[in-house]
Amino acid sequence: MDPSDALVPYGWDERVLTAYRAVASKPHFQPGRVVRVDRISCVVATRTGDQIATALSLPAVGDWVVLDNDDDELRITAVLDRTAALTRHDADRERVQVIAANIDLVFISAPGDRPSAARVERESVLAWESGATPVVVMTKADLAPDGYADELRERLPGVEVVITAALQNDGVDRIAALMHPNRTAVMLGPSGAGKSTLANALLGEERMPTGDVREDDRRGRHTTSSREIILMPGGGVLIDTPGVRTLGLGDVDEGLDAAFTDIADLVAQCKFSDCGHGSEPGCALRAAVAAGDLDGVRLENYLRLEDEVTATPRGVNHAGRKAKREEDKKAQRAARRPNQQ
Ligand SMILES: Nc1nc2c(ncn2[C@@H]2O[C@H](COP(=O)(O)OP(=O)(O)OP(=O)(O)O)[C@@H](O)[C@H]2O)c(=O)[nH]1
Ligand SMILES: [Mg+2]
Ligand SMILES: [Zn+2]
């Protein structure tokens, strides 16, 4: 592999080269990484710079693609297998959307002016499910209530929580240190969380547009409108995304147990294998809450999220729900296979 290849800053390495060679069947084909996806087109970084490309179905930002330009138009002919992909479902579970592909880290922004550990927990399920490593990034720490950082650390065991206030340049160096050449991170979080502001602090310049939040409820104004790759000055790739209101979990499976490993371990100790974790005797989860070993609020959120995943009313046979999850897992794997036109 040529280290001076113009795609190296985008993460081009031996792995991608090998994957590319396995799929690129014609010598005039060229590789590229999708750096921006709008509603109808996408921009691909190539060895000759950024170019607009067409595709039968749009890839995701972060995808490595095979490009064909034989009749003056740049066309995506194949999408390379993804290492990890962050996906979300619409509320009706009909549409699956790949937010970012080939990511190593998911920065879950937790705005200090709108504290919600439950939302961060929900997003951590999606992050674990993606195959990448979640990192909670508290933003606007200057506006956070006392104790919010501790609450996040308690509610998200095993996840690093970084405290930042990008406008004051606080904590930004820790985020920079998590970025490496060849590493891709995506920022997740609601509109107005300060994602683009943090990106600018990492860049050291006001490149990404930012917008204010509404006075009454601190919601943002959807300033960022497309998903976009930003090359970090010290190497590595950051993907800024528009804030989304609803992050449906859809067919999540491993992500839920990964985000709640402590609870997943306890479930195995309930007396009844079909325990609904309500008032039945011998429930290990309720016992752990009573003993002060498990946060009751965290348990309620877990049960809510699990209900959403299984989309089956609570109290019905747990084994049936488990079986459904197994089925979902298979279907999801099939759906996740990148399309190769
Ligand atoms: N007080 C304070 N305000 C901040 C901080 N970081 C960002 N903000 C403000 O929060 C508002 C929203 O910031 P953005 O960076 O546009 O938020 P975003 O997450 O990119 O929002 P979308 O692009 O809409 O998803 C702006 O008014 C920022 O100035 C911070 O550390 N402290
Ligand atoms: Mg933004
Ligand atoms: Zn139980």
Q: Could you read off the pLDDT of 16-71 as tens digits, one per residue? A: 999 999 999 899 999 999 999 887 789 999 999 999 999 888 899 999 999 998 67
Helix (H) or strand (E) holding 51: strand 49-53
Structure token pair of residue 309: 């995943």
238 - beta bridge partners?
185, 230
What is the whole-number distance in angstroms between the Cα of residue 29 and the centre of ligand 2? 34
Which ligand 1 atom is the nearest neighbour of the CA of 224?
23
Residue nearest to atom 26 of ligand 1 (CA): 212
Could you tell me which residue, 341 or 142, shows the higher pLDDT? 142
Return the best residue to mutate from 163, 170, 210, 226 for the ligand 1 pocket (most ligand atoms within 8 A of CB).
210
**CATH 1.10.40.50 domain range(s) in the chain:** 254-336
Mean per-residue pLDDT over the chain, rounded: 89
Return the best residue to mutate from 138, 197, 219 for the ligand 1 pocket (most ligand atoms within 8 A of CB).
197
pLDDT of residue 70: 67
Cα 25 to Cα 146: distance, rounded to the nearest angstrom = 58
Torsion sign across C-alpha atoms 268, 274, 278, 283: negative
Of the listed ranges 89-93, 172-176, 228-232, 251-255, the one predicted with least confidence: 89-93
Residue 231: exposure state from Cβ atoms within 10 A (0-12, 13-18, ≥19): middle
**CATH 3.40.50.300 domain range(s) in the chain:** 85-240
* Ligand 1 within 6 A of CB of 30: no
List the alpha helices (DSSP H) in 193-317.
195-203, 254-259, 261-267, 284-290, 296-310
Structure token pair of residue 108: 């879950």
Over residues 307-324, the mean pLDDT reads 58
What pLDDT band is residue 328 in, cutting at 50, 70 and 90?
low
Q: What is the pLDDT of residues 113-139, one digit of tens each?
A: 999 999 999 999 999 999 999 999 999
Could you tell me which residue, 177 or 92, shows the higher pLDDT? 177
Q: What is the pTM of this model?
A: 0.89
Of the listed ranges 96-100, 108-112, 169-173, 189-193, the one predicted with least confidence: 96-100
Which ligand 1 atom is the nearest neighbour of the CA of 189?
19
Structure token pair of residue 308: 């959403």
What pLDDT band is residue 141 in, cutting at 50, 70 and 90?
very high
Structure token pair of residue 328: 């979902």
- Name the CA radius of gyration of the chain, rounded: 21
Residue 185 and residue 106 in contact, taking contact as beta carbons nearer than 8 Å: yes
**pLDDT over 70, % of the chain:** 89
Helix (H) or strand (E) holding 240: strand 237-240
Domain 254-336 listed as CATH 3.90.320.10 = no
What is the whole-number distance in angstroms between the Cα of residue 193 and the centre of ligand 2? 8
Q: What is the pLDDT of residues 198-256, one digit of tens each?
A: 999 999 999 999 998 888 888 888 888 889 999 999 999 999 999 987 788 877 879 99
Collapse the DSSP code of 38 into the 3-class scheme (helix H, G, I; strand E, B; otherwise coil) and give the result: coil
**CATH 2.40.50.140 domain range(s) in the chain:** 8-79
Collapse the DSSP code of 62 into the 3-class scheme (helix H, G, I; strand E, B; otherwise coil) and give the result: coil
Statement: residue 189 has pLDDT above 70:
yes
* Ligand 1 within 6 A of CB of 192: yes
List own/partner pairs for 229-234 with CB under 8 A and 24 or more apart: 229/10, 229/33, 229/34, 229/35, 229/36, 229/45, 229/61, 229/62, 230/199, 230/202, 230/203, 231/9, 231/10, 232/176, 232/179, 232/202, 232/203, 233/202, 233/203, 233/204, 234/176, 234/179, 234/181
Fold of 8-79: OB fold (Dihydrolipoamide Acetyltransferase, E2P) (2.40.50)
Over residues 148-162, the mean pLDDT reads 96
pLDDT of residue 335: 57
What pLDDT band is residue 339 in, cutting at 50, 70 and 90?
very low
Could you tell me which residue, 308 or 127, shows the higher pLDDT? 127
Core vs surface per residue 282-310: b (16+ CB within 10 A) or e: ebbbbbbbeeeebbeebbebbbebbebbb
Architecture of domain 85-240: 3-Layer(aba) Sandwich (3.40)
